[in-house]
């Protein structure tokens, strides 16, 4: 599995062969001078918390790590605000429309799909919903869901290390990382 930027071996402007870009090295074309910086994609995730303290966990239907626990959320589209992405993902994935979100913190992540690993910056939020909140998960994206109290969550069952790390901080009552 290689990072997005490692797959670019030719200049997208003039077609000359180039040395692959790295984590801290942009794509640079010696033939035409084209220079391109690869950055992390933004993604959002939400701890949707009921008034009884239980939060929503979705069981992933698709790779990577199908069957493991994840949060409602997804990638921020081009031209979209983080807030709009959060509302769109919650509406599309679970049919919820919380009226406010609180920022918890962010974590770097890597999203692997179709032999490409995408660098991602995950932004996490907390949304509160009534205890009787009814959710309507998208069947094709979600294999199931559970409302769990923080102490009932097995961190090993969480799909992404970024979510595992933010969960530990969130459970400990910590917000934005120093
Ligand atoms: Zn070039």
Q: How far is the CA of 33 from the centre of ligand 1 (A)?
A: 6
Distance CA 13, CA 20 (A): 15
Q: How far is the CA of 31 from the centre of ligand 1 (A)?
A: 5
Distance CA 91, CA 152 (A): 26
Please report the DSSP string for 90-137 in residue order.
HHHHH----S-EEEEEEEEEEEEETTEEEEEEEEEEEEEE-TT-----
Residues 6+ apart with CB under 8 A from 138: 92, 93, 94
Cis check: omega of the bond before 99, within 30 degrees of 0: no
Residuewise pLDDT in 10s, the chain (178 residues) = 899 999 999 999 999 999 999 988 999 999 999 999 999 999 999 999 999 999 999 998 877 788 899 999 999 999 999 999 999 999 988 899 888 899 999 999 999 888 999 999 999 999 999 888 778 777 677 788 899 999 999 999 998 899 999 999 998 876 554 4
pTM: 0.88
Q: How far is the CA of 8 from the centre of ligand 1 (A)?
A: 12
Q: Catalogue all structural domains in the chain, each as residue range(s) with its CATH number.
A: 1-38 (no CATH), 41-171 (3.90.79.10)
């Amino acid at each position: 599995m290689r990072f997005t930027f490692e797959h670019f071996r030719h200049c997208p402007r003039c077609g000359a062969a180039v040395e692959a870009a790295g984590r801290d090295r942009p794509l640079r074309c010696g033939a035409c001078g084209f220079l391109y910086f690869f950055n992390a994609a933004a993604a959002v995730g939400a701890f949707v918390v009921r008034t009884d303290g239980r939060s929503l966990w979705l069981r992933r239907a698709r790779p990577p790590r199908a069957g493991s626990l994840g949060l409602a959320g997804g990638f921020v589209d081009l031209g979209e605000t983080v807030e709009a992405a959060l509302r769109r993902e919650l509406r599309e994935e679970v049919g919820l429309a919380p009226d406010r979100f609180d920022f918890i913190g962010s974590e770097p992540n890597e999203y692997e799909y179709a032999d490409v690993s995408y660098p991602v910056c995950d932004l996490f939020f907390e949304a509160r919903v009534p205890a009787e909140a009814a959710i309507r998960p998208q069947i094709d994206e979600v294999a199931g869901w559970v409302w769990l109290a923080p102490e009932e969550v097995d961190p090993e069952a969480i799909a992404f290390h970024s979510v595992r790390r933010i969960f530990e901080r969130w459970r400990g009552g910590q917000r934005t990382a120093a």
